[in-house]
Amino acid sequence: MKRTTLAAVIAALAVTGCFAWTAAQDAGGTMKKWQKGKGWGWVWGPEDEVGALNEMSDASRLTALRRVQQGKIYDLGALYDRTSYKWPGHSPGEIISFRTPEGVKRQADLPALVTGNPSGTAWHSCALFLNDNVATQIDGLGHATEGADDHWYNGFKEKDWGGNWGPRKCDASTIPPIVARGVLVDMAGFRGVDALPANTMIGSADLQAALKKQGTELRPGDVVLVRTGTLRHWGEAGGDHAKIGEHDSAGINLEAAKWLVEEQGALMIGSDTSGLEYGPKVDDAKAYREKYGSFMPVHNYLLIQQGVHIAEFHNLEELARDNAYEFTYVCGTNKIKGSTAGFTLRPIAIR
């Protein structure tokens, strides 16, 4: 039987009408809870732990997959090792050999491993000591808290649902597999720079101008990824920590986040930085905190108030090189109960 490529199959189906789609269908049908001018909020019931990702459906996922024309994969995950970039919220990690072929074969008190093994079979396994906020990640809805009661999304409180083994509501294991239309907003490309300068604030007008230049329209149910260029400095042996740190403070402000959620219906918002949102200069930090009542107002708005997950340290460089502004976004997080983020992920974009 002649081998057929994925792209050829999809093209054939499109010709026959099986994969026909329109802009109006791009969200997979009518949005269930999103309201223009309001966004989402705590609208999914008192026990909900999923938030805006509830808007995904079989129809929306199928529509997103129908966008695939070439079968080309873009790896959006950043390579992680013990030397990778760190900041106060991303603690050092260690990957340690836990079982080694040489060590296993010296284990004289386990004769089954030492004798009667003429082929010399052994194995490697490792112990990992990591924070759950490292490398490519998606923040769970229990990640950020606010108020004297330390509440998070949907009103879950620390005194009721916290503990020494992670939050018992809205942990990362509740993040469903994500399949949606993805959109790249290349802010570095729009500004004509390799990477945005430190402390660059990205507002809604900036996003709109970049989207207009790209010829890209946002639609309700999109995963929106904003490129600053920061991860061009990530690589083997930890990358250039000084350069990553220099650019990592560029990001969207609260007004931009509100525009994406309340006016455009973004399902998830992410970037190629460690925190997505704008980081002010040291001299401006106090005034910024006083204005918004928090040092991370975008996190509080998205995760707590709207139930919109945040994607961080997504590698968007190859997408930008190919001017691949629209794609199918696919990601499944680590299913670890009690973790506050899906971490060291390998999401993909498919065109």
Q: Are residues 260 and 147 in the same domain?
A: yes
Q: Is 237 found in the same domain as 106?
A: no
- The pLDDT of residue 92: 72
User: In which domain, by residue range, is 207 found?
Assistant: 6-85+132-350
**pLDDT digits 0-9 by tens, 100-111:** 999 988 888 888
Let me know whether 175 and 125 are in one domain: no
Check pLDDT > 70 for residue 17: no
Verify that 99 and 177 share a domain, yes or no. no
Q: Which pLDDT score is estimated for 166?
A: 92
CA 171 to chain CA centroid, Å, is: 15
| Contacts with 163 (C-beta within 8 Å, 6 or more apart), sequence order | none
Pair 108, 165 in one domain: no
Do 289 and 201 belong to one domain? yes
Q: What is the mean pLDDT of residues 144-172?
A: 95
The token duo for 68 is 């695939």
Q: How far apart are CA 138 and CA 153, in angstroms?
A: 15
Is 1 domain-assigned?
A: no
Residues 149 and 22 in one domain: yes
- Residue 41 pLDDT > 80, yes or no? yes
Check residue 4 and give its pLDDT: 45
Checking if the pLDDT of 118 tops 90, the result is no
* The total number of structural domains that make up the chain: 2
Please, which pLDDT band fits residue 119 given cuts at 50, 70 and 90?
confident
Residues 6+ apart with CB under 8 A from 240: 233
Cα angle, residue 66 at apex, residues 62 and 69 outer, rounded to 5°: 155
Mean pLDDT value of segment 230-239: 78
Average pLDDT over residues 172-189: 97
Q: How high is the mean pLDDT of the chain? A: 89
Residue 306 DSSP SS3 = helix
Mean pLDDT of 286-306: 94
**Of 48-57, 97-106, 305-314, 339-348, which range is least confident?**
97-106
The predicted pLDDT at position 54 comes to: 97
What pLDDT, on the 0 to 100 scale, is given for residue 236?
63
Task: Locate 55 and state its tokens.
Answer: 């808007």
**pLDDT for 28 beyond 60:** no
Q: Examine the pLDDT at 131 and tell me if it is beyond 80.
A: yes
CATH code (residue 265) = 3.50.30.50
